[in-house]
Amino acid sequence: MLSNLHPADALLALKAQIAELEALAKIEHARLVAMGAGHHDGDLARANVIVADYSRVDWKGIAETLKPSLRFPRDKWSEQIVEMVDGHTATKSQTTVRVNAKPAA
């Protein structure tokens, strides 16, 4: 298909095709996310849409702010430390889409 092209031209053509395909993949990904969490079966593939929240504590920010010893269990922390840890905790939602071929019948 691209064998008669100079390698630089062939690579450029391939990168252009990849960019087009990635743009189409983003559209289909968004369509699956819009369908919501769960299993969505096509004729050839099954997509799993997973929505999950995760929290991350910025321990470096806490250490720089107060330099407390946080080796004690949370129930032993003072209210100040609990509030500071909660204030340095970010919760984000993440959506993952996995698509696999359906098994042969």
Its pTM stands at 0.63
Q: What is the dihedral of CA 80, 84, 87, 91, to 10 degrees?
A: -120
Cβ contact 71:40 at 8 Å: no
Write out the E strands in the chain: 38-41, 45-57, 89-101
- What values do phi and psi take at 95, rounded to 5? -110, 130
The tens-digit pLDDT sequence of the chain (105 residues) is: 567 899 999 999 999 999 999 999 999 999 999 999 999 999 999 999 999 998 988 888 877 776 655 566 667 667 877 787 788 888 899 999 999 988 876
The amino acid sitting at 86 is D
Helices and strands in the chain, H and E counts: 3, 3
